[in-house]
Amino acid sequence: MSALKESSHDQTTEGHAAHHGPSKGVYYAVFATLIVLTWVTSWIATVDLGPFNIYVALSIAVFKATMVLFFFMHVKYGTRLTKMIIMSGIYWLILLLFIVMMDFWTRNWMGVPGR
């Protein structure tokens, strides 16, 4: 009797389907988008936007990294724990970058002997 309960529990868990995640079509669409955005990044490097080149390139890179994170690393279809761990990693990265930037900003506050 318990084997029957276990097999029916494997197929559906609390009313949810056993298959979680994107279809192959979504993977192909994300891959095509990443290829197109790689081409756009290469093309935009040849266009002179003045000081905005770096912002455009970084915006495209962040968008591509977000797509990889959500779809290929299955964060979009993951549990809340997975999303919380990703957010804590991003928070930690921002904190460390802030500490590094504070170091650069405050280096000239005190005089350096010998200068």
Enter the tokens of residue 85: 């761990």
Q: Which of 18, 32, 26, 22 is nearest to 74 (CA)?
A: 22
Query: Given this model, what pLDDT does residue 109 score?
Result: 80
Length of the chain: 115
pLDDT in 10s for each residue of the chain, 115 residues = 555 555 544 454 555 555 567 788 999 999 999 999 999 999 999 999 999 999 999 999 999 999 999 998 888 888 999 999 999 999 999 999 999 999 888 887 877 776 6
Name the one residue in this structure whose structure tokens are 């591509």.
64
Query: Given this model, what pLDDT does residue 60 score?
Result: 96
Query: Given this model, what pLDDT does residue 43 score?
Result: 94
